[in-house]
Amino acid sequence: MKTMIAFDLDDTLAESKQAIQPEMAERLESLLTVADVAVISGGDWPQFEKQVISQLPKGAKLERLWIMPTTGTKLYRYDGEWKAIYADVFDAEERKKIAAALDQVMREKGYDKAQIWGEQIEDRGSQITFSALGQQAPLSAKKGWDPDFAKRKDMRVDLAKMLPGLSINLGGSTSIDITREGIDKAYGMRRLIEHAGITFENILFMGDAIFPGGNDYPVAEAGIDVIRVRDPEDTAVAIRAVVACLKD
């Protein structure tokens, strides 16, 4: 039986870097009445707070919500207030090596000359994220930059050669997430079951990037049941069906 429904965030629950829509907030509130809910993504805690938590209706069962920033290398739970349960972070030498590799690849591909909105490289402690157009880029620009993931797959090949022993995954609409080796969303799901006291069989995961190289794909490879969605509207339909099934 599924007792935990887990989700990617950007392009699954919400448009990239945008708050969830009122309909999605209502769907999640309803889902929280019949199951635990986990949200895992490359963003750091403030992004989850802005996009998801602050949008949920008053009275939503927050104690059933598991927030997993930076690809599951952090976990937050609610007990009257939000608290960090764990956080796995890079050391100074790892940060320096990753930053140098990203700078080199950006120059070689010409992305250091692109129009950007905000930082292109963000250190999230346990994850370093490259956002081609900057962290605050408008959706209109992001949607057209790399819709088939080809640009980032090309970057991923070069970065993998320069950063052996690190995990490099494509995330969101324009980003690449770099973590320690073995840290991906499957890792996050393993940490989740440790703390939730469940098994993979109890989890259903929904994400838009469930394909080889996509940052949701490791969840499927780990043997967790998944539903690949196209966008938040698709996810909302799936949530409604899951709620109906679990209520029965």
Question: pLDDT tens, 46-84?
Answer: 999 999 999 999 999 999 999 999 989 999 999 999 999
pLDDT at 248 over 80: no
pLDDT at 161 over 80: yes
Higher-confidence residue of 110 and 31: namely 31
Task: Convert the pLDDT of each residue in 119-148 to its tens digit.
Answer: 999 998 888 999 999 989 998 999 899 998
Which pLDDT value is given to residue 114?
A: 79
CATH code of domain 92-180: 3.30.1240.20
Task: Convert the pLDDT of each residue in 179-216 to its tens digit.
Answer: 888 888 999 999 999 999 999 999 999 999 999 888 89
Q: For residue 131, what are the β-bridge partners?
A: 175
Fold annotation for 4-88+183-247: Rossmann fold (3.40.50)
The domain locations on the chain are 4-88+183-247, 92-180
